[in-house]
Amino acid sequence: MTTAWPLPTRLTGVLRRPRATFEALAAAPRALDVLTLGFVAAFAATALALETDIGELALLDQLERTVSAFGEPLDEAQYAALQEISDRGTAYALVTSFVSIPLLAVGVSGVLVGWRRARSRTAGPAPSFRQVLAVAGHASIILALRQMLAAPLVYARETMASPLTLTMFFTLLDEGSPLTRFVGMIDLFVIWWTIVLAIGVSVLYRLRMARVVAVFAGAYLVVAALLATVVAITGGAA
């Protein structure tokens, strides 16, 4: 029986040598501990930031921007509802952290397992849901790290707009241009997460790593382009 790596080793392994880490996880899958840690860390960091006065205003501004981005005008009742949400920073942090860490990992795992079962011509044994969840769960540490780094920046910058997008490299572009909208949706940490997840999938499914990384990164860019197009069509603000 293969001995599972201890949690600290797995955490550093995902960041420094993901392929070797995922090979070890395929032999001895673990997910509950890393998902719990990632969720608690992301929730705590986000909640601490949003419970401040600055964090509350930043959340309200972000909610307004999100609605406006899709061309929806705000009436008084809707604005009051957004204010009520911004007053509940801890609850907001709880929901967003749960969705972005454990729920996303489970959802991604379900899609990957379903995809494998649909490919009846694929040779070799299929990885179990537990193995896939171990990979997706450990990749989610990058998303937790993203939230932990973003939380203090909310307080320092007085905005929840992510400073971790490609926008930082295109500061001279017109704020409302389609290209600015597109690069503003490309988050560097999400790209990192996508690549690490693709490495794990290539290990589990015995696929060429470069090909899987290209497919996953391409899918992310397509989704970002579609969202930017929707925002442009609806006439909302970026």
Burial class, 3, CB count within 10 angstroms (exposed 0-12 / middle 13-18 / buried 19+): exposed
The CA-to-CA distance between both ends of the chain, in Å, stands at: 53
Which segments of the chain have a pLDDT < 50?
237-238
Q: Which residue has the tokens 């959802």?
A: 107
**What pLDDT does 230 receive?**
72
Q: Alpha-carbon distance 178 to 194, whole Å? A: 23
**What pLDDT does 94 receive?**
95
**What pLDDT does 157 receive?**
75
**What pLDDT does 71 receive?**
61
CB-side exposure of 45: number of CA atoms within 13 Å?
19
Question: Phi and psi (nearest 5°) for 164?
Answer: -105, 20
pTM comes to 0.85
**What pLDDT does 173 receive?**
58
**What pLDDT does 115 receive?**
80
DSSP H or E stretch at residue 207:
none
Closest CA to 113 of 126, 99, 122, 95: 126
Q: Where are the domains of the chain?
A: 7-234
Q: Alpha-carbon distance 136 to 238, whole Å? A: 30
Q: Which residues pair with 187 in a beta bridge?
A: 165
